[in-house]
A = this chain, B = another copy of it.
Amino acid sequence: MASLDNVLSNLDRNLDTSVERLKALLRIPSISTDPAFAADCRAAAEWLVADLLDLGFDASVRETAGHPMVIAHHTGAGADAPHVLFYGHYDVQPVDPVDLWDNAPFDPQIVTMPDGSKRITGRGSADDKGQLMTFVEACRAYIAETGTLPCRVTIFLEGEEESGSPSLIPFLEENREELSAGVALICDTNMWDRTTPAISTGLRGLVGEEVVVSAASMDLHSGYYGGAAANPIHILAKILAELHDEDGRVTLPGFYDAVRDLPADVREIWNNLGFSEQEFLGGVGLSIPAGEKGRSVLEQTWSRPTAEVNGIEGGYTGQGFKTVIPAQARAKVSFRLVFDQDPQVVRQTFREFVKARIPADCRVEFHEHGGSGAIQLPFDSPLLTVARKALSDEWPNPAVMIGMGGSIPVVGEFRKRLSMPSLLIGFGHGDDRIHSPNEKYEMTSFHHGQRSWARVLHALAQADVD
Contact = CB atoms under 8 A, between A and B. Distances in A.
A315 to B, nearest CB: 4
A227 B291 CA distance: 5
26 contacts: A33-B322, A93-B322, A94-B322, A215-B290, A216-B284, A218-B285, A225-B301, A225-B405, A227-B305, A228-B289, A228-B300, A229-B281, A230-B290, A233-B309, A233-B311, A233-B312, A233-B331, A237-B237, A237-B240, A241-B241, A241-B242, A287-B360, A310-B315, A310-B323, A311-B322, A312-B313
A317 B312 contact: yes
Given A229-B286, A290-B229, A361-B288, A370 B321 contact: yes
Contacts of A226: 291, 301, 306, 308, 334, 336, 405
Contact of A227 (B210, B236, B336): B336
A329 interface: yes
A253 interface: no
Which of A228, A306, A360 has the most B CB atoms < 10 Å from its CB?
Answer: A228
Given A230-B290, A241-B241, A312 B310 contact: no
A434 interface: yes
A38 B18 CA distance: 65
B164 A321 contact: yes
Interface of A: 33-35, 93-94, 162-164, 204, 206, 208, 210, 215-231, 233-234, 236-238, 240-244, 277, 280-281, 284-292, 297, 300-301, 304-306, 308-326, 329-332, 334, 336, 359-362, 369-370, 404-407, 430, 433-437
Contacts of A297: 228
Given A306-B226, A406-B224, A218 B321 contact: no
Given A33-B320, A206-B323, A226-B336, 14 more contacts: A94-B318, A163-B320, A216-B284, A216-B286, A217-B285, A222-B308, A226-B405, A231-B290, A233-B240, A233-B309, A309-B314, A310-B315, A311-B322, A317-B332
A219 B164 CA distance: 19
A401 B277 CA distance: 64
Contacts of A93: 322
Contacts of A223: 204, 206, 336, 404-407
Nearest to A160: B320
A27 to B, nearest CB: 22
Contacts of A437: 218
Which of A220, A224, A436, A437 has the most B CB atoms < 10 Å from its CB?
Answer: A224
A222 B325 contact: no
Contacts of A229: 281, 284, 286, 290
Nearest to A243: B234
A309 B233 CA distance: 7
Contacts of A434: 221
Given A221-B435, A308-B222, A227 B321 contact: no
B315 A309 contact: yes
A86 B361 CA distance: 41
A361 B287 CA distance: 6
Nearest to A317: B313
Contacts of A225: 284, 301, 405
B241 A237 contact: yes
A208 to B, nearest CB: 5
